[in-house]
Amino acid sequence: MITPLTQGPDPLLLTDMILTLGCPVLLVSGSGLGAINHTMLSIHHGQGLGIPMEGVVLNHYDSSNPIHVDNARMIESLSGLPVLARIETNARAWPDDKNQ
């Protein structure tokens, strides 16, 4: 969320845009090692700025990996936010057949 959108001595940050628009956030995070720390730091930073947090989406999720499963559980427990989706590692962005 502390992503610079412009360069210079006083860059515009993604959090500035979120606050200006009044948007709630759906935080997308990785699922593996470091996911709890990364996600919790982002949640706390956003909440500290008064940004409403809706939930978390875990990306590159592997339901057979006990670390990923535990990370999802711990993120929900520590943050009080729901993990709304788990995007599997091999998920396709678009179906190959447009009729599906």
Give me the mean pLDDT over the 9-36 stretch.
95
In percent, the amount of the chain with pLDDT more than 90 equals 85
Model confidence at 96: pLDDT above 70: no
Better pLDDT: 61 or 97: 61
Extract long-range pairs of 67-75: CB within 8 Å, 24+ residues apart. Answer: 67/32, 67/33, 68/31, 68/32, 68/35, 71/31, 71/32, 71/35, 71/36, 72/31, 74/36, 75/29, 75/35, 75/36, 75/39, 75/40
pTM exceeds cut of 0.85 = no
Better pLDDT: 93 or 39: 39
Q: What is the pLDDT of residues 30-69, one digit of tens each?
A: 999 999 999 999 999 999 999 999 999 999 999 999 999 9
